[in-house]
Amino acid sequence: MLDNYEKFLDIFTQDIQAMFEHQKDYIYCKEGCSHCCEYGEYPFTEIEFLYLIEGYKKLTPDTKNKIKENFKSTVKDKDGYYVCPFLINKKCSVYSNRALVCRTFGLLNKESDGTVNGPFCGKLGLNYSNVYDKETKRLLMDVIEKNHYKNLPRVFNLNIDNIRTLELVKELGIEFGIQKSLYDWLEEYFSN
Ligand code: SF4
Ligand code: SF4
């Protein structure tokens, strides 16, 4: 099951890299920036969680203990957001096995109600902060026109419900399974 998911990831990750490249005028991601791993719910489907755990199992005992400690001390804020327990020294400890949301975060995404959702780090002066108003959820068309960017901002449809319907997913027979927050998956995993 995970073999086919890995095949899917190889292709899909290339597609995502192409999306980031296309949008590079608006992207501020760089090594050491980890705000998106410090504040989120991290919705993972079952297959994504199983794949993440495959990566976890390969870590050294010290790193695994650190992750467990991180999880034990995780505190959710009033919105249910928290620091991902896999983040160690501002780096993902399971980078090759990270979930889809970890790979796609930072782009403009279409919500199920049709509105444009910009990444929260825009509020920190990062992705799309030059062309997207997070309060009104609107692209700043006058700014975009004035600046003659190479490519216009593009809104992608990277919701899991859309990903489930991709031809590639069907071809490879991938069943993503239910979706829960990473916290809920880990609570179950560490209690067994
Ligand atoms: S998505 Fe935002 S917070 Fe995450 S690495 Fe990129 S710029 Fe930083
Ligand atoms: S799994 Fe890795 S990339 Fe995903 S939120 Fe956690 S630390 Fe960040």
Please determine, for residue 69, whether its predicted confidence score (pLDDT) is greater than 90.
yes
For residue 7, give the nearest of 180, 161, 166, 185 by alpha carbon: 166
Q: Tell how far CA 114 is from the center of its chain.
A: 20
Please determine, for residue 85, whether its predicted confidence score (pLDDT) is greater than 80.
yes
126 C-alpha to ligand 2 centroid (Å): 18
More confident position, 146 or 114: 146
Q: By alpha-carbon position, which residue is closest to atom 5 of ligand 1? A: 29
Q: By alpha-carbon position, which residue is closest to atom 4 of ligand 1? A: 36
pLDDT in tens, 117-136: 899 999 999 999 999 988 88
- When pLDDT is cut at 50, 70 and 90, the band that residue 115 belongs to is confident
pLDDT value at residue 138: 86
Q: By alpha-carbon position, which residue is closest to atom 3 of ligand 2? A: 102
